[in-house]
Structure 1
Amino acid sequence: MISFDQILETKIGTGLYQFKTLCIIGLVEFCDGIEYTFMSILIAILKNEWNLNQAEVASLGSSFLLGIVLGNLLCAFSTDIIGRKVTFTIFTGLSSFLVFYTSFSQSYGEMIVLRLSFGLVFGTTCPLGFIFISEVTEAKNRGRFSFGLSLLYIFGKIYFVFLCFFFLDSYTSGNWRGLIRFNGIPITVAFILSLFFIKETIRYYLNKEEYQKAFEEIEIIIQENGIQNAQLSDEDKNGLQEWSQKQLQEQKEQELHIYGVLSNEYRKETLLFWLICILTNLQNMSIYLLMPFLFAENKSGFTPMLNMFIIEFFFALILYYIIDNPYYGGRIKIMAFSAFALIIANGLLYIFRNSFLFVGLFIIKIATRGLFSTIGLLSCETYPLYLRTQGCGLVQAIGKIGAIPSPYFLFPLFFIDPYLPFGLMCVLSIIILTITCFFNQDKTLKHLETLKEE
């Protein structure tokens, strides 16, 4: 019997198909980097321009997060029905429309509705990046391709800061409408390219028992990757169909369709993912909500932020090279290293304050990026094909649900003492490090899917 991972290694290989998929799907991660950085600056600008009070500022930040959560949930329960490609194309198109429409908003109430709506449609596409990449890449390259999404995320932040130089006067004033319109270009490009160049994943066709379509797509991809003399034999097709049928039989026997990611087999991992993702999102929100205010308080321009993102990119390259190395990197080790870095950075920020601001924020951003990237990849590798979108979507949704109230306690803490939030995050980082010790499934260099008998 032959699995799809073996076909991927021996017939399809790695080539143009995977790189093309990464570039198009990665535009959503690129936009994700833009949006989270933009959200914090937009809040700071509108607070001054529209004279918002503390509660309105918190609500503006939470509305986008609530929309993202709803979008993650929609992805979790709809993508397996309508397909990865269709979901991606529909919701990148809607995201493009809402980005440009938001630039014409004239009131606080309208902005709340638009940020909520944009969060919903954009949040539906967010989990798809790791799902797509994990399903189309070989085991030996899966970590690096997945972490390539994080590099594009950082590129998105760098792109955004360059735009800030042109459109904004400071962290609290400027032409935010023009900035939004330029922010909409990458997601529009992703939508257009997806119409012509994104393919549904083979694993999805196999799970739907559309075997002839799966075999045809494999042949097309083999040609696209330029692999010579690698056509599927009848033995390959029969073996792949038998393997797929056994997977479907396992699904029925375990009744995973009833309990889903909370079935006995996956309940522990699911709860661990939810908890660590909530804590990581809280740490992430402490940066994005407070960073513009901290920089403004220190009378810093956009140059320090740009430098921080550029250095972050180069440090992220180190993680890129060790993510698939089981000795120096691997999934669990990177999560533990990241959590330890958060403890140190938050603790030193709380103690040394302004003198450690830029270094501390930089370390926190690197560490949270390492956690998010590894959580996204590890969740894809933990859940089987028929639970992957549900598992990944719920992990992201639950993580952000835990972060929705963050503006309501981070801002009050900040106004008491600007560095008090980092004292709290230091304590939470200790919990993150503890949680990483309970993960015991690491598929570094291993096949994405195996049968019980294997």
Structure 2
Amino acid sequence: MANDDSIETVIGRFGRYQIWIFFLITVGRLPAEYQLTNVVFLTPNAEYVCNDIGANYTANYCPCDNPEYDISIMRSASSDWNLICDRRQLASFAQSMLQVGVLIGSLFYGYIADRYGRKLANILALVTEVIFVALSAFATEFWMFVICRFLVGTGFGGATLCCYVIIIELSGKSFRPYLTGLLEIPFIAAYITLPVIAYFLKDWRDLQLASSVPFAFTIFYYWIIPESPRWLITMGKKEEAVQLLKYIAKKNNMLVDDIERVVDKAYEESQDERKQQYGSYLDLFRTPKIRTYSMITAFVWFCCSHSFYGINQYIGRLDGNIYINLVLSAATLIPAMIYVVFASLYLKRRLAIIASFALTALTLFLFLVVPKSMDTLILVLTIISQTGAFTAFAQVYLFSCEIFPTVIRNSAMGLSSTFARLGSFIAPFVVNIGIEWVTITIFSVTVLFACFLCFFLPETKDIVLLNSIGQTEKDEAPHMVDDERSV
């Protein structure tokens, strides 16, 4: 049985045209990625001295009606709206609303992408992100800020999910391992540059404007970004698929003679295998294999997000210079990105993900035995555990894309992303339990359980992306796929 990707044979695995689209998507995703890590500057634990009578200028004294804030690091939303003492939970509420927005956005944009196309979903998500990040900078009331954070979250959920899928579907099978690492470039770039931008601006409103307004050009992506040819074929839009594939092939200096035959065979197979022309979330639970895969991947995503964002917030609380700590933690993700590519090329998907989870769990357990006075070692262990969680998360994205067929791929990613948001929503509460060994144990046990669940997912290394639910259900070995049945 051959396992060639017929789309790759006609347009190339990742030619000049795909590089151009990848560049546009990478730049367009930056506003969303900035919102993922800027919580340490927007709503931090505000430092202040209390000027109330009897407080004697005590630092962080509660209750306090006349605080004088330390804004040497950043003028934040916490200081603007006095999110201290009994109002401190409002800062957590604002961040939680971002995650609620991501959850809603993942579901909404996942449906839009599967029903109306990858292109529309991408443009809507990217433009929504720019608009509401910019509007949040002009919020005059806290409730306005919270609403903007929710709407920013919806755009983030859509941008992260749909941008990933469209790049995967425009690429050939043999190049997907490289994309596992390359698609993390926007996050790492935002993570590294955010503290630098914040250092010079010193004001959260200016930070929001600087991370949104310069990216208003994404509205023009509507005339630049293509639809996914795999989605067009699955939807039965053969003529559009042929024209797009010919255009891409010419841009990549590939022959166009065989494109009609490839599209016809792919279309015929997709029509034989399914009765409907678009998928839905219900399809994730109609059939045995898809149902099992959906439930397991959803929980694995929950564990990834729960551990990664919990550790990320912990870094913001460590002793030392916050700018340096963030840059160091971001810089370590560069070799992590290289490892992700190496693992995707040479290791089995499940083995690589399990190894990343195991590294995270091990370093978390070491927190229980390392003396609290060893600040440098604590920082190193935190960064290593974050690296493990990051590499697991990056690989799970590709793993999930390969498990599910085209007709429900975005819906499956949307469901998984929803559970990821639940994990990130719960993470701050686990961090704030106040008993460190309990917090560490919860994170570690959750990660180890994700390791165990991965054994029940199919190995997908070197597969051709399947189109229909029927193909997934009847293939016991998803890597053994005939090239005439899949694209």
TM bracket (short chain): 0.7 to 0.9
Which position in structure 2 is the counterpart of 1:46? 77
Q: Aligned partners of 1:84, 1:258: CA distance in 2, in Å?
A: 16
Query: How far did 1:101 drift?
Result: 0.8
Of 223, 235, 240, which aligns to 1:196? Answer: 223
Match for residue 124 of structure 1? 158
TM-aligned CA deviation for residue 409 of structure 1: 4.0
Question: What's the secondary structure of 2:43's corresponding residue?
Answer: helix
TM-score when normalising by structure 2: 0.82
1:74-104 Cα distance to aligned partner (Å, 9 max, x none): 0121212221111111221121111111111
What is the rounded CA distance, in whole Å, between the counterparts of 2:126 and 2:142 in structure 1? Answer: 25
Structure 2 CA distance for aligned equivalents of residues 31 and 368 of structure 1: 22
Instruction: Give the aligned partner of residue 339 of structure 1.
Output: 357
For residue 272 of structure 2, what is the aligned residue in structure 1?
Answer: 249
Structure 2: distance between partners of 1:186 and 1:272: 40
Q: Is this contact kept in 2: 1:316–1:366, CA < 8 A?
A: no
* Structure 1: runs of 5+ lacking an equivalent: 169-174
Shift of 1:239: 4.7
Structure 2's unaligned 5+ residue stretches are: 45-75, 475-480, 483-487
2:180–2:344 Cα contact (<8 Å) kept: no
- 1:225 offset after TM fit, Å? 0.9
Distance 1:425 1:3, change over 3 A: closer
Q: Shift of residue 264 of structure 1?
A: 1.5
User: CA distance change for structure 1 residues 121 and 130 in 2, over 3 Å: closer, same or farther?
Assistant: closer
2-structure distance, mates of 1:7, 1:47? 51
Quick one: structure 1 residues 12 and 129, their matched pair in 2 at CA, closer, same or farther if it must change by over 3 Å?
Answer: same
Which range moves more in the overlay, 118-127 or 62-71? 118-127
Note closer, same or farther for the CA distance 1:255–1:210 as it changes in structure 2 (3 Å cut): closer
Distance 1:149 1:321 in 2: 14
Corresponding residue for residue 396 of structure 2? 375
Q: Secondary structure at the match of 1:405?
A: helix
**Matching residue within 465, 470, 477 for 1:448:** 465
1:27 is displaced (CA, Å) by 3.2
Contact preservation (8 Å) 2:281, 2:411: no
The structure that is helix-richer by fraction is: 1
What corresponds to 2:426 in structure 1?
Answer: 405
Q: Secondary structure at the match of 2:451?
A: helix
1:258/1:330 CA distance change after superposition, 3 Å: closer
Measure the CA separation in 2 of the matches of 1:158 and 1:225: 33
Whether the 8 Å CA contact 2:6–2:262 is kept in 1: the answer is no
Aligned-partner Cα distance in 2 for 1:104–1:418: 38
Q: How far apart are the structure 1 equivalents of 2:246 and 2:10?
A: 13
The one of 153, 158, 164 aligned to 2:198 = 164
Contact 1:29 1:150 in 2 (8 A): no
Q: Which of residues 237, 255, 258 in structure 1 aligns to 2:260?
A: 237
Output one character per residue of 1:206-261: Cα deviation in whole Å (capped at 9) or x when no partner.
1221111111111110111122xx1224xx52453133222132122999768411
Contact 2:102 2:418 in 1 (8 A): yes
Closer, same or farther: CA 388–95 of 1 in aligned 2, 3 Å: same
* 1:15 paired to 2:15: yes
Q: Which amino acid aligns with 1:440?
A: P
**Alpha-carbon distance in structure 2 between the residues aligned to 1:42 and 1:12:** 44
Counterparts of 2:93 and 2:271 in 1: how far apart (Å)? 44
- Give the SS at the match of 1:94: helix
In structure 2, distance between residues paired with 1:320 and 1:89: 28
Q: Which amino acid is the alignment partner of residue 204 of structure 2?
A: W
| 8 Å Cα contact 1:345-1:364 kept in structure 2 | yes
Q: Is contact 1:72–1:123 with CA below 8 Å preserved after alignment?
A: yes
| 1:358 to 1:201, Cα distance in 2 relative to 1, 3 A | same
1:282 aligns with 2:306: yes
1:342 is matched by which residue type in structure 2?
T
| TM-aligned CA deviation for residue 405 of structure 1 | 3.4
Q: Could you say which residue in structure 1 is the equivalent of 2:139?
A: 105
Residue pairs, 1:240-319, within 5 angstroms: 240-252=263-275, 259-262=282-285, 263-292=287-316, 294-295=317-318, 298-319=319-340
C-alpha deviation, 1:28, in angstroms: 5.0
Larger radius of gyration: 2
Deviations 1:262-295 (A, max 9, x none): 1222111111111111122111221233332x23
**Take 1:6 and 1:421, find their aligned partners in 2: how far apart are those partners?**
49
Match of 1:138 among 172, 181, 187: 172
Where do residues 27-46 of structure 1 align in structure 2 (5 Å cutoff)? Answer: 27-44=27-44, 45-46=76-77
Q: Which amino acid aligns with 1:219?
A: K
Identity within the alignment, %: 16
* 1:323 aligned counterpart, secondary structure: helix
Equivalent in 436, 439, 447 of residue 454 of structure 2: 436
Partner amino acid for 1:278?
Answer: F
CA–CA distance in structure 1, aligned partners of residues 409 and 29 of structure 2? 19
2:407 equivalent to 1:390: no
- The amino acid of 1:63's aligned partner reads M
Q: Is the 8 A contact 2:7 2:172 kept in 1?
A: no
Structure 1 residues 346 and 28: CA distance shift in structure 2, 3 A: farther
Moved more, 349-358 or 78-87: 349-358
> 1:134·1:146 contact (CA, 8 Å) conserved in 2?
no
Whether 1:206 aligns to 2:233 is yes
Instruction: Give the secondary-structure state (helix, strand or coil) at the position aligned to 1:101.
Output: helix
Aligned residue in 1 for 2:24: 24
Give distance in 2, aligned partners of 1:32 and 1:4: 35
